[in-house]
């Protein structure tokens, strides 16, 4: 094994004309004892990634979990190690659905579920439709593909703040078009406060999310052999049948990942509601991410905020696990 690893390296460097660096590497390489290379080297190479992962994800997560068991308020953030230990109190407060804090959390959870369902659903539908339509080659397809990716490429803040301007009641473009130009609505509506705010949120979220679905599905479609369609059309299958029997089943593995990723991103989305509504969202659009942010950073109850975050994490883990079990079982079934 060792020989097969080192030999091609030597060949390449010889062929390219040995540079000083490569030569050095070649000379150094044999000095590593076989034992290390076989046993330790892979781990050593993994080490930086593992350390960074620890530093960026695992340690903060553990700190967050520890915080959720403490009564961490403004009195202790200067020295939060001294915050009193409160056991499960923060969790009790978060899930006491008869009391206002728990009730508000539950409310924002339901709002987030509705928001996620429609955002992911529409983003997926739009992405799929656009990907299928742009499969056939025609004049201007390249430009359309590029244009469709613009929302994905734009900085979120800039894009969402533009939407916020457009949704303003008195000076916004949306009311101008709907009310003054098309006459669809009798009088200008509020989009950023009150009942409509959830629609605003879904519209902006779909606009922001569907190009990713489009990109993934377009890549997935490239992998479906054209012969399948040709054979199907010879057998008399129409376009709908082709989509139902060939396209969608072939896209299944892509969709499996896509829907999960979209779900996680949307459920946790913070930027869209924060830029649209500021630090206090309207009741109808009070997403859980904003709600937790408010509990932690605006009202300075970091302990309760951490407990809510941990609950959210557990919920997302559970959903992801169930989803993965169900979809992989389904795929096995399909393979058989």
Which chain residues interact with other proteins by CB under 8 A? 44, 47-48, 51, 54-55, 59-60, 63, 73-82, 93, 99-101, 104, 168-171, 188, 190, 192-195, 278-280, 282-283, 294, 297-301, 304
Nearer to other proteins, 96 or 246 (CB): 96
Nearer to other proteins, 50 or 231 (CB): 50
CA 166 to chain centre: 25
Nearer to other proteins, 59 or 326 (CB): 59
Angstrom distance (rounded) from CA 294 to CA 24? 56
Least CB distance to other proteins at residue 142 (A): 39
Nearer to other proteins, 63 or 318 (CB): 63
Least CB distance to other proteins at residue 178 (A): 15
Helix axes 20-28, 2-16, angle to 10 degrees: 160
Least CB distance to other proteins at residue 154 (A): 21
The CA–CA distances, whole Å, from 288 to 58, 102, 219, 281 equal 22, 12, 32, 11
> Residue 119 in contact with residue 205, Cβ under 8 Å?
yes
Nearer to other proteins, 129 or 196 (CB): 196
- 235: CB partners within 8 A, 6+ apart: none
Nearer to other proteins, 102 or 121 (CB): 102
Angstrom distance (rounded) from CA 273 to CA 279? 9
Least CB distance to other proteins at residue 197 (A): 9
Q: 85 in helix, strand or coil? A: strand
Nearer to other proteins, 255 or 284 (CB): 284
Least CB distance to other proteins at residue 170 (A): 4
Angstrom distance (rounded) from CA 283 to CA 167? 17
Least CB distance to other proteins at residue 92 (A): 12
Angstrom distance (rounded) from CA 114 to CA 119? 8
Angstrom distance (rounded) from CA 132 to CA 58? 40
Give 19-42 as a DSSP string: -HHHHHHHHHGGGS-HHIIIIIHH
Least CB distance to other proteins at residue 112 (A): 18
> Residue 124 in contact with residue 118, Cβ under 8 Å?
no
């Amino acid at each position: 094994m060792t020989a097969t690893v080192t030999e091609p390296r030597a060949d390449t460097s010889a062929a390219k004309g040995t540079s000083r660096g490569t030569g050095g590497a070649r000379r150094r390489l044999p000095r590593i004892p076989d034992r290390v290379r076989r046993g330790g080297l892979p781990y050593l190479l993994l080490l930086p990634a593992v350390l960074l992962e620890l530093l960026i994800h695992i340690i903060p997560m553990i700190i967050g979990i520890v915080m959720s068991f403490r009564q961490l308020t403004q009195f202790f953030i200067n020295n939060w190690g001294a915050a009193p230990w409160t056991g499960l109190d923060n969790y009790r407060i978060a899930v006491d659905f008869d009391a206002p804090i728990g009730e508000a959390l539950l409310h924002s959870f339901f709002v987030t579920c509705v928001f996620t369902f429609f955002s992911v659903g529409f983003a997926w539908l739009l992405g799929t439709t656009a990907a299928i339509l742009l499969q056939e080659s025609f004049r201007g397809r390249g430009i359309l593909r590029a244009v469709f990716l613009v929302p994905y490429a734009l900085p979120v803040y800039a894009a969402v703040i533009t939407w916020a301007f457009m949704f303003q009641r008195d000076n916004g473009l949306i009311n101008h078009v709907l009310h003054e130009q098309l006459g669809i609505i009798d009088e200008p509506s509020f989009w950023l406060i009150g009942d409509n705010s959830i629609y605003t949120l879904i519209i902006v979220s779909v606009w922001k999310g569907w190009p990713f679905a489009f990109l993934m599905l377009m890549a997935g479609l490239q992998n479906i052999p054209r012969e399948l369609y040709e054979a199907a059309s010879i057998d008399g299958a129409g376009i709908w049948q082709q989509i139902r029997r060939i396209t969608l089943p072939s896209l299944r593995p892509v969709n499996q990942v896509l829907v999960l990723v979209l779900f996680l991103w949307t459920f946790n989305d913070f930027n869209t509601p924060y830029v649209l509504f500021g630090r206090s969202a309207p009741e109808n659009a009070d997403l859980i991410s904003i709600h937790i942010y408010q509990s932690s950073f605006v009202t300075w109850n970091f302990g309760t905020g951490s407990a809510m975050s941990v609950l959210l994490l557990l919920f997302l883990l559970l959903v992801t696990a169930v989803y993965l079990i169900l979809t992989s079982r389904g795929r096995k079934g399909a393979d058989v």
